A = this chain, B = another copy of it.
Amino acid sequence: MDKPRDMVSRLAELGYRLTPQRMLVLAAIENSDGHISAEEIYVQVVAKYPHVNISTVYRTLDLLTRLGLVTETDLGGGRVRYHPAAKGHHHHLICQQCGEIIDLEESTLSPLKKTLLQEYQFTADLRHLGIFGLCQKCRQ
């Protein structure tokens, strides 16, 4: 449903040029599990189009973020990760031992969001949430 085509046509609609570099960045994000970093995108893109520069990846990510087509998540560790906005928000449980990233359903956080609003008058933007801890396997 949320094929790169959608982001591509959105870019075209808005008058942005459809360069091969952009197509490849879009494809990498779309085919990822939703937790891809700029470096990882770069590696995928270079594999098919050896001349791209990583600054182009960053510029494309910046553009897509500004247009609201992708969402940035800073899970700490000094690396920002990206996923397609059209796939909907999701949250992340990050295992501090093995590094596994588990997706969390949005509904799990609804009660928290409500509490923050009622008790702290704070409108939480939970798109950017990462929760650290230990997964089942590593807990033992």
Confirm or deny: A133 has a beta carbon within 8 angstroms of a beta carbon on chain B.
yes
Q: A76-B74, A76-B76, A128-B76 are in contact. Are A133 and B139 (CB under 8 A)?
A: no
The segment out of A13-21, A30-38, A61-69, A108-116 that lies at the interface is A108-116
How far apart are the CA atoms of A96 and B126 in the complex, in Å? 12
- B133 near A122 with CB under 8 A, answer yes
Contacts of A102 in B (CB 8 A): 120, 122
Question: What range describes how many residues of A lie at the interface?
Answer: 20 to 34
Confirm or deny: A12 has a beta carbon within 8 angstroms of a beta carbon on chain B.
no
Given contacts A76-B128, A121-B135, A125-B134, 18 further A-B contacts (CB under 8 A): A74-B76, A74-B77, A76-B76, A78-B78, A102-B122, A108-B116, A108-B119, A109-B112, A111-B112, A112-B112, A116-B133, A121-B139, A122-B135, A123-B133, A123-B139, A124-B131, A124-B133, A128-B132
Which A positions have Cβ atoms within 8 angstroms of B?
Answer: 74, 76-78, 93, 95-96, 102, 104, 108-109, 111-112, 115-116, 119-126, 128-129, 131-136, 139
A-B contact list, 9 entries, CB within 8 Å:
A93-B124, A108-B112, A108-B119, A111-B111, A111-B112, A123-B133, A123-B134, A125-B134, A126-B131
